[in-house]
Structure 1
Amino acid sequence: MTSTPPDDFDAVVGAAPSAVTTPTLEHTAEHAAEPRGSRFDDWWARTVYTPARQRLWYWGAPLAVTLLAAVLRLWNLGNPHVLVFDETFYVKDSYTLMHLGYEASWPADADTKFNAGDTDIFTSAPSFVAHPPFGKWMISLGLAVFGAGNSVGWRISTAIVGILAVVLVMLIARRLFRSTLVATIAGLLMAVDGHAIVMSRVALLDGSVMFLALLAFGCLLLDRGWFQRRLDAKVARRRLAGGPADWGPTLWWRPWLLTAAVLLGLCSGVKWSGLYFLAFFAVYVVVVDAVARRRAGIPFWISASILKQGPATFLLMVPLALVTYIATWTGWLVTSGGYYRHWAQTDGQPWAGALNWVPLWFQNLWHYQTAMYGYSINLHVPHPYQANPLTWLFMIRPTSMYYAGSSLGQNGCASANCSSAITSIGNPLIWWAAAACAFYLVYRLARYREWKVGLILMGLAAGYLPWLLYTGRTVFQFYTIAFEPYLILGLAFVISLIIGTRTDAAWRRKRGLLVTAIFLAFVLAISVFFYPLWTGQQVPFWYWQLHIWLPSWR
């Protein structure tokens, strides 16, 4: 998102605004005489003083983080060679999608045979599914390349999405903070966090929701500057021509907003939680438009943003997202065997009266959507790893995706008892620090009204707040992957404040760099400690127990 390296390797913006004062000459002289920066800054200036070295840092640091993320997500990806947790639904549904165009039914003992490589045992009878098909189409790409008998093929698409999400976090962070250092730190935190690793190594849908919403978030970030520049130019031209600027112009051509609408339609085509991102992002755009009009000096900036640009924003985003969502059902639409595909013609009754013109395919699709909604909203089946959304930020009940115990000599176990586990426990230091930073950002937004803080919190709110309406429903901690990037960006923002800039007082700069270095060292050490429990490696039972930091983590 940035084409040229910044002049300063840590050009961090967003520091707390200070009160405007008129310094005395003595104060100015004392301030000027105070040492600035640190020895690290001096060393760094000597190290990257050439354009070639600056480019190496600008591209090399993010590339190194990307390679680390790839290794952590791709190493031994096929282990375990069994369908874990909800892979039993999504992998098999993906396989029938690529063969039939719709999700089909499987025999009762399908998992055992599928794990053994006997994959072509599905029937042609349709299966009712609770989620739209696009995320399963994404999983099917890996099955097409590696084959359904290879467990790498089950998970490779999800792993690639997880790697690309790390890259995207760095791109967004660099755009926000104008700092390669802070962007690299943000990417590193995403790369080594256990929750992000697990959700990249298990073929579930939520990682795709996260990635597509994050892409749309990046488009909103680009649209913000695009809109402000063109609004200012149009207002200036109108004033030069002597025309009124009470309401300001309506901008219809907003390519980044159109791209975001398509991405949010695809996101909703993975899981309906993508609709929450669409709603929050659309409201955010209206608010940003109002602020842009105020900065441009438009008198009626509130009414113009709501009554003039607001309807245009709605028409740019919502219909396109809806059409994109419907397009994700193409396989179901162009075939005849899908669930409820002929409901209106058989079990149901075609719409009559004013709605009799609606095509039957749409009536059938609408009925399917209402059935999906009814199933989802009434899902209250108890599960041992369900987690109340009120506890998500504190990581009270992470989800166990897989657990296998072994005794001495069994499956290569060299201890009295061994454990193999895949548990979506985030790196506790990253997760709890990010949660604390989220609360701090709420305070900071109220006090300083910084747009970057507002943007980050908007993404977090879109992924998290709607779930507070479903505290009685069966939901899980792993849903939080949808908003984890915004927790990471919030943490990166606070780290940027701690690091400061090279123009800060020497003592403050040294302290900020030291605190950050110590924090990252502990983060990496904890990730190394937890990595076996994120990847299904066999470890002694006592080692598994060392990771149960809270009783609810069992």
Structure 2
Amino acid sequence: MPSTTTDAVGATGPRSENQLRSLLGLDPLGSALPKAVRVNGWIATAVAGAVAVLTRLVGLSHPHQLMFDEIYYVKDGYALWRNGYESAWSDGANELFAQGDFSALTTDPSYVVHPQLGKWLIGLGMQLFGADSSFGWRFMPALAGVLTVVVLARLTLRLTRSPLLAGLAGLLLAIDGVGITESRIGLLDGFIGLFATLALYCLVRDREWSRARLAADLADTLPDARAPRAHLRPWLLAAGVMLGLTCSVKWSGAYLLAAVGILVVVWDTQALRRVRARAWFLEGVISRGVGDFIRLVPVALMVYLGAGWGSWFLHDGAYKHGWAAAQRAENGFVERSWLPDALNDLLEYHLSMYNFHVGLDSEHAYMSKPIGWLLQLRPTSFYWQGEQDMAGADCGSNRCIQAITSIGNIPVWWAAAAALVFAIVVLALRNRDWRVWVPLIGYVGLYLPWFLYWDRTIFTFYTVAFVPCVVLVLVLALGSVAGLVPPVPGSALARREAQLLTEGVIGPDRIYPRGRVASYFGFGMRPGRTRLPEAWTGVPRWRVRGEGVALIGALLVIATAFACVWWPIWTGRTVPYTFWYWHMWLDSWV
């Protein structure tokens, strides 16, 4: 049935599917990225991935000793693959392990405070390359770091349709110090970064998929039509799986699960409002909200129980396994007797772990408050070999050291702090651009919750979980300044731009309008002269703003130079003490 109106926003008659798609921020039916853009997107992804391989795998086996919290997670990974559960080690285990001697492993259960998945993955690297290989200890975190770069590049392309911005996001993450150092050590948090980024990618795919189905279901209907039945939504189920895997590494993933769940309900409710569905608020919050909950939380919980604790259920010797039976035998009863013993055991274990986490307040030399994380004010030192340890080393000085400091690429992080303000004020609030909420929800779920644990012993290196969101906020801000991020289809900005294009105000050989700040500094006085191919920018040449492209180029050059200078400090190379000290710009970095 043909539509009776051409105004998608104010439609009062039956709406076509394309009109509904416009209302929902989607391109018309049949739209697709040009082949050249798709090919260049994969080229940009491959280049960023190759840089990530080099920064994460070159010299990965150094140092050949357990450093920082590898003394827990690497040995736990080995124990899982040998005993099926985390086990206690006798005295001297750290030194023996580095020598390839694993005789210190016992069959006694060990009390651990994180789920098993990350340690299983670390152990997998040792299965592949040998437990006596420090390369093997760190291979899976390094692989996770490389994959995070690749996924971020694909996510950025999905949001912006610009191979240039996709490559920029991947490269900035590939040369970031937090990402590099934590991909080169057997810790758990890099896995959180990977699974969380995959969850955000699935979230974007679900938004596109669900809105396309909504437009198709309501095609040729009048406003105030009843909302159609919900669909399976495979991408939302996939997001639930990824969030379950995130929680299976560390509990901090639960906050991201909650944040994503709220965002999905908000987006679903907004979609129903945009198409003027009947009782859109109740339908969105209650009916769709319950469906969203079912697709996310139970799925994540099942994944958590399987991936996080699967082998714990299978081994009676695991810590706290048999607690309920022991309580019943000793006291004649057990708390929560309505639960199966295995689940009761695990719940008791979880209560113990929770008390440990919230009560962890012991002093540590490199503990830091989250308020300083976004500026990297107090980085974490993973490894230090001082002058006495390095006696006889050749570094061109009589004072040689080796250090691994997990500090981010400062030009990226400091620029991203300013970009965060721009993203919230301009992109999220003024422009109402849904795309910026993808990285912002990462901040909400993976950064803000740490303020609840202000008195806990916490560290800046936790930022590796959301560093892809830090980079993505920066890239979206830079892309907007450079004109490489077009308005959302169907939005007020898109309609305004289409009107100006029709009137001949903008277009080829025309001056693209600037904001007040850019105009104040004299930009936009003449038509842009950029010659960047559209197959790389993803937008017509007349949209590209030269000052923004120059800003992107300058940041990339400065960040690359910073990475080159800091590479020895990120990877523990032998350097003069003065070289290391010269890198300590702030007293808090020492």
Coarse TM-score class (shorter-chain normalised): 0.7 to 0.9
Correspondence for 1:296: 275
Counterpart residue type for residue 418 of structure 2: A
In the TM superposition, residue 55 of structure 1 has moved relative to its aligned partner by: 6.4
- Work out whether residues 350 and 363 of structure 1, in 8 Å CA contact, stay in contact via their aligned partners in 2: no
Residues 129 and 353 (structure 1 numbering): CA distance in 2 closer, same or farther, change over 3 Å?
closer
Whether 1:361 and 2:383 are equivalent positions in the alignment is no
Computed over aligned residues only, the root mean square deviation of the Cα atoms, in angstroms, reads 2.1
Instruction: Report SS of the residue matched to 1:519.
Output: helix
Cα contact 2:37–2:163 (8 A) shared by 1:
no
CA distance in 1, matches of 2:358, 2:326: 26
For 1:365 and 1:177, the matched residues in 2 are separated by 44
Deviation of the 1:77 alpha carbon? 0.2
Instruction: Note if contact 1:250-1:312 (Cα within 8 Å) is conserved in structure 2.
Output: no
Q: Choose from 96, 104, 108 the match for 1:113.
A: 96
Q: By how many angstroms is 1:95 displaced?
A: 0.3
- Which residue pairs with 1:37 in the alignment? none
1:424-460 residue CA offsets vs partner (Å, 9 max, x unmatched): 1101100111111112211121222111122221122
Corresponding position of 2:387: 406
Judge which range, 391-400 or 56-65, deviates more.
Answer: 56-65
- Residue of structure 1 aligned with 2:400, choices 418, 427, 436: 418
Give the partner amino acid of 1:358.
L
* Structure 1 counterpart of 2:115: 132
Distance 1:229 1:282 in 2: 20
Q: Which residue of 1 aligns with 2:313?
A: 333
Alignment of 1:223-302 (within 5 A): 223-236=206-219, 239=221, 245-246=225-226, 248-302=227-281
Structure 2 counterpart of 1:312, one-letter code:
G
Structure 1 residues 193 and 339: alpha-carbon distance in aligned structure 2, compared to 1, 3 A threshold = same
SS in 2 for 1:338: coil
2:47 aligned partner: 64
1:451 aligned to 2:434?
yes
Higher mean displacement: 343-352 or 189-198: 343-352
* CA displacement, residues 495-545 of structure 1 (integer Å, 9 cap, x when unaligned): 112322596431683322222212211110010000111001111110001
Displacement of 1:350: 8.9
Q: Which residue of the partner structure matches residue 138 of structure 2?
A: 155
Distance in 2, matches of 1:509 and 1:318, equals 44
Q: Determine which of 522, 534, 554 is the counterpart of 2:570.
A: 534
The residue that corresponds to 1:522 in the other structure is: 558
Letter in 2 for 1:144: Q
Instruction: Tell me the distance in 2 between the aligned counterparts of 1:416 and 1:120.
Output: 39
- Secondary structure of 2:386 counterpart: strand
Matched, 1:437 2:419: yes
Alpha-carbon distance change, 185 to 530 in structure 1, aligned in 2, over 3 angstroms:
same
Judge conservation of contact 1:351–1:363 (CA < 8 Å) in 2. Answer: no
Cross-structure match for 1:22: none
- Matched residues in 1 for 2:232 and 2:102: separation? 48
SS at match of 2:325: coil
SS of the residue aligned with 2:249? coil
User: Residue 89 of structure 1: SS of its match in structure 2?
Assistant: helix
Aligned partner (choices 545, 548, 553) of residue 512 of structure 1:
548
Q: Determine which of 349, 363, 367 is the counterpart of 1:382.
A: 363
What are the Cα deviations for residues 140-161 of structure 1, in whole angstroms up to 9, with x where unaligned?
Answer: 1101011110000000000000
Shift of 1:347: 4.7
1:252–1:312 contact (8 Å) kept in structure 2: no
Residue in 2 that maps onto 1:81:
64
1:91 equivalent in structure 2 = 74
Give how far 1:483 is off.
Answer: 1.1
Instruction: Identify if the C-alpha distance between structure 1 residues 319 and 526 changes in structure 2 by more than 3 Å, giving closer, same or farther.
Output: same
**Is the contact made by 1:398 and 1:478 (CA closer than 8 Å) also made in structure 2?**
yes
Contact kept, 8 Å, 1:258 with 1:320, in 2: the verdict is: yes
- Aligned match for 2:197, one of 201, 214, 221: 214
One-letter amino acid of the counterpart of residue 432, structure 2: R
62-71 vs 293-302, which moves further: 293-302
Superposition misfits of 4+ residues, deviation over 6 angstroms? 51-55, 348-354
Q: Deviation of residue 74 (structure 1)?
A: 0.1
**Does the 8 Å CA contact 2:391/2:400 hold for their aligned counterparts?**
no
- The two structures have a TM-score, normalised by structure 2, of 0.81
**Which residue is equivalent to 1:371?**
352
2:585 alignment counterpart: 549
What one-letter code is carried by the residue in structure 1 that aligns with 2:574? Q
CA shift digits 1:456-487 (9 cap, x unpaired): 21122111111111111100001111111111
Residue by residue over 1:284-329, the C-alpha shift from the partner in whole angstroms, topping out at 9 and shown as x without a partner, is: 0000001111122214222211111111111111111111111121
Change in CA separation of 1:285 and 1:344 when aligned onto 2, cut-off 3 Å: same
Tell me how far apart the structure 2 counterparts of residues 83 and 296 of structure 1 sit (CA, whole Å). 57
State the match for 1:324 in structure 2: 303
Q: State the TM-score, normalizing by the size of structure 1.
A: 0.87
Contact 2:375-2:417 at 8 Å conserved across structures: yes
The answer as to whether partners of 2:96 and 2:102 remain within 8 angstroms in 1 is: yes
1:351 Cα shift? 10
Aligned equivalents of 2:103 and 2:126: distance in 1? 13
Deviates more, 1:57-66 or 1:77-86: 57-66
* Distance (whole Å) between structure 2 residues aligned to residue 353 and residue 343 of structure 1: 9
Q: Given residue 126 of structure 1, which amino acid in structure 2 is its aligned partner? A: P
Question: Quick one: distance in 1 between partners of 2:394 and 2:332?
Answer: 62
Tell me the amino acid that sits aligned with residue 345 of structure 1.
A
Equivalent position amino acid for 2:314 in 1: V
Q: 1:375 and 1:234, CA in 2 relative to 1: closer, same or farther beyond 3 A?
A: same
Alpha-carbon offset, residue 411 of structure 1? 3.5
Q: Helix, strand or coil for the counterpart of 2:387? A: strand
The answer to whether the 8 Å contact 2:90/2:105 transfers is yes
Shift of 1:53: 7.1
How far has the Cα of 1:395 moved from its partner?
1.0
Show structure 2 runs of 5+ residues with no match: 1-33, 485-506, 513-526, 530-543
CA-CA distance at 1:249 after TM superposition: 2.6
Residue 100 (structure 1) aligned to one of 73, 83, 100: 83
Over 3 Å counting, the alpha-carbon distance change for 1:265 and 1:57 in structure 2 is closer
Worse-superposed segment, 224-233 or 77-86 = 224-233
Seen in structure 2, the aligned counterparts of structure 1 residues 59 and 454 have a Cα distance that, compared at 3 Å, is: closer
CA deviation map 1:150-189 (0-9, x unaligned): 0000000000000000000100000001100011001110
Once the two structures are superposed, residues 77-133 of structure 1 have per-residue CA deviations (whole angstroms, 9 ceiling, x without a partner) of: 000001110000000000000111110001121111111111232000000001010
Q: 1:547 to 1:360 in 2, by over 3 A?
A: same
Q: Distance in 1 between matches of 2:335 and 2:363?
A: 43
- Per the alignment, residue 29 of structure 1 pairs with none
Of stretches 507-516 and 424-433 in structure 1, the one that deviates more from structure 2 is 507-516
SS at match of 2:385: strand
Cα separation, 2, equivalents of 1:189 and 1:354: 52
Quote the Cα distance in structure 2 between the aligned partners of 1:490 and 1:500.
15
Q: Is the 8 A contact 2:48 2:170 kept in 1?
A: yes
CA contact under 8 A between 1:406 and 1:413: conserved in structure 2? no
User: SS in structure 2 opposite 1:419?
Assistant: strand
Q: Which of residues 143, 167, 177 in structure 2 aligns to 1:194?
A: 177
Name the SS for the 1:410 alignment partner: coil
How far, CA to CA, are the matches of 1:548 and 1:105 in structure 2?
38
* Cα separation, 2, equivalents of 1:64 and 1:448: 32
Residue identity matched to 1:532 = P
Q: Which stretch of the first structure deviates more once superposed, 403-412 or 388-397?
A: 403-412
Q: How far did 1:192 drift?
A: 0.4
- Which residue identity does 2:449 align to in structure 1? P
* Identical residues among aligned pairs (%): 40
CA deviation map 1:211-251 (0-9, x unaligned): 111111110100001111111222336x38xx9724x1341
